Amino acid sequence: MVVGISAMVILISFFINFVVNQQSKTVMLNNAFQITEGLAKQSIFPLLSGSKENADSAIDQVLGFQSVTKVKILTEKNELFIEKNNDNTETLTDYNKPKTTTVVIETLQYWVVSSPVKIKQEFEDSFNFDTTNTTLPSIEEEVIGYVEIHFSKLDLINAQKRITFIIFIVSGVFVLFLGVLLYLSLVKLFKPLDTLEQAMEKSEKSGEHTLVKVEGAKEIRNMAKSYNSMMNVLEKHEDKITLHRDQLEKEVEARTKELINARDSALTASRHKSEFIANISHELRTPIQSIIGYGELISEELELEGSFELLDDMDKVSNNAHRLLTMINSLLDLAKIEAGKFDVNNTELNLASLIISLNDVISPIAASNANQYTCTNQSSLGYFYADREKLEQVLINLLNNACKFTKQGQISLLISNDENTIFFEIKDTGIGLTLEQQQYVFDEFRQVDASNSRKYGGTGLGLAISQRFISLMNGYITVQSEINKGSVFTVAIPL
């Protein structure tokens, strides 16, 4: 507020100073014009008679004015008739002679005001012999010379400086007085408001319901009353909330005990489920392996006897037994993982040996669907540490899925590494996955959809177990896919 009013006062001061200075300049110029015109009238007779003595007395009167420094009287031919100076200051004289009194030269130090010396002449038309004509004779003004007076601006400049100084001194005193007055008034006005603000801040930090003294202006007193009322209401509500909180804590404690018991029961049931799956899977695997073994013996005997029709049937029995064994093994792996019975056994792996092992397993599977399988090793590693059994199972599962969901396409394995991680990138040109399917592709017992589950088979445990295995090795699996354009699964394991 003080700054705004101060700025306004300063602007008004500038405006007043400008107006006063302009008015003083105008007054001085009007006086200069009157002096010049008066000398022009007094110069008529000296110019007509050629008497410089008469002009000399008139010039002396003009030089008696404080601001006049030089006076000249010129003839109509612009020749110097008489000149007098109050000082030896040289001034400019090159200008066009005016027809009326005007400022012909202006500098920072002086004005040169010039006025023509005129006489009036009456004349009649000499060729007009009409005696009935009563027209008055015409009057014309004839210029017989010029008066030139040099006026100094020194007095004007000094007067303007004094005026400016006085105006700004008055403005400064006014601004100072106004600032002190406003400061004292605002302090008195806002001190109760500041007290109220401090009380609010203290209440916010400490949580206490501090009351304030009701004082100050009417509006501030009303605010203080409202604040005190609010504090009283809050204190009552806080008492109620404290009582309600104690009741809730008792209820939460009771519910927590119930939830803990329910959680323990669920964990126990889950553990029993995992143990049951592990036991039943183990019990199922033994007879399945026996079936596979007896099937292979029977197949050999049938091959020796040449019973090829029965041999085809035994091959179907053997293939289904292998599929059943794979499912049982998956359930057993999942049960072991959930039971926490899977350990990571890191050993030094030969990367070339791992590639050969994968080629031996995947090449026939890829050929079954007329797919081309390629493996590219861009890694700089010869050996690295990992759990070979689990890593090999994961890679075979991902490559097997790629072969299963791709027909007459390309299956590729790209191996690379950086300073901290080795990457296995499995890429196919198969059916691909939608964005929604990519969200749950690693969930247990989930297939891409029901139709594909029936068409391609499987339990939906392969990717879930693979992700669990890689997590146990502190790695991760990512998927990028586009429907009908294939998928890319990337396995990353820290070195």
Lowest mean pLDDT among 162-171, 182-191, 248-257: 182-191
Q: What is the dihedral angle through the alpha carbons of 18, 23, 28, 34, rounded to the nearest 10 degrees?
A: 150
* Alpha carbon distance 237, 347 (integer Å): 66
Residue in 331, 335, 333 with CA at minimum distance from that of residue 275: 335
State mean pLDDT over 4-15: 80
State mean pLDDT over 92-108: 77
State mean pLDDT over 387-406: 87
Residues of the chain with CATH 3.30.565.10: 343-494
Burial of 422 (C-beta count, 10 Å sphere; 0-12/13-18/19+): buried
- pLDDT higher than 70, residue 331: no
What is the structure's pLDDT at 36? 85
Lowest mean pLDDT among 9-13, 35-39, 137-141: 137-141
Residue in 161, 146, 182 with CA at minimum distance from that of residue 71: 146
Average pLDDT, the chain: 79
Burial of 209 (C-beta count, 10 Å sphere; 0-12/13-18/19+): middle
213-252 core/surface letters (b: 16 or more CB in 10 A; e: else): eeebeeebeebbeebbeebeeeeeeeeeeeeeeeeeeeee
CATH code of the domain made up of 2-122+137-163: 3.30.450
Lowest mean pLDDT among 63-72, 117-126, 389-398: 117-126
State mean pLDDT over 207-236: 78
pLDDT 10s digits, 112-151: 888 888 887 654 544 454 545 555 555 677 888 888 888 8
Residues of the chain with CATH 3.30.450: 2-122+137-163
pLDDT 10s digits, 145-180: 888 888 888 877 888 788 888 888 888 888 888 888
- pLDDT higher than 80, residue 398: yes
pTM: 0.40
Around 437, how many Cα atoms within 13 Å sit in the side-chain half-sphere?
A: 18
**The token pair that represents 260 in the structure block:** 């803990």
Strand order, beta sheet including 410-417:
372-377, 410-417, 421-428, 486-494, 476-482
Mind giving me the DSSP string for 98-163? PSSSEEEEE-SSEEEEEEEEEEEEEE--TT---TT--PPPEEEEEEEEEEEEEEESHHHHHHHHHH
Q: Are 467 and 442 in contact (CB under 8 A)?
A: yes
Strand order, beta sheet including 68-75:
80-85, 68-75, 138-152, 110-123, 102-106
State mean pLDDT over 398-427: 90
Lowest mean pLDDT among 71-75, 187-191, 230-234: 187-191
The counts of H helices and E strands in the chain are 11, 12
Report the chain's C-alpha Rg in angstroms.
58
Residue 149 neighbours by CB distance under 10 Å: 26
Lowest mean pLDDT among 157-171, 270-284, 336-350: 270-284
Mind giving me the DSSP string for 287-352? HHHHHHHHHHHHHHHHHHHT-HHHHHHHHHHHHHHHHHHHHHHHHHHHHHHHHT------EEEEHH
Lowest mean pLDDT among 210-224, 343-357, 416-430: 210-224
State mean pLDDT over 85-95: 63
Q: What is the DSSP letter of 96?
A: P
Q: Given CATH 3.30.565.10, say whether it is the number of domain 343-494.
A: yes
- pLDDT higher than 80, residue 364: yes
- pLDDT higher than 60, residue 451: no
Q: Categorize the per-residue pLDDT at 78 as very low, low, confident or very high, splitting at 50, 70 and 90.
A: confident
What is the structure's pLDDT at 129? 45
Q: Indicate the pairing of strand 410-417 with strand 372-377.
A: parallel
State mean pLDDT over 5-22: 81
What is the structure's pLDDT at 450? 46
Q: What is the dihedral angle through the alpha carbons of 349, 350, 355, 359, rounded to the nearest 10 degrees?
A: -90
What is the structure's pLDDT at 127? 43
Percent of the chain at pLDDT > 90 equals 7
Q: Categorize the per-residue pLDDT at 283 as very low, low, confident or very high, splitting at 50, 70 and 90.
A: low
- pLDDT higher than 70, residue 448: no
Among 125-139, 197-211, 219-233, 372-386, top mean pLDDT goes to 372-386
Q: Categorize the per-residue pLDDT at 38 as very low, low, confident or very high, splitting at 50, 70 and 90.
A: confident
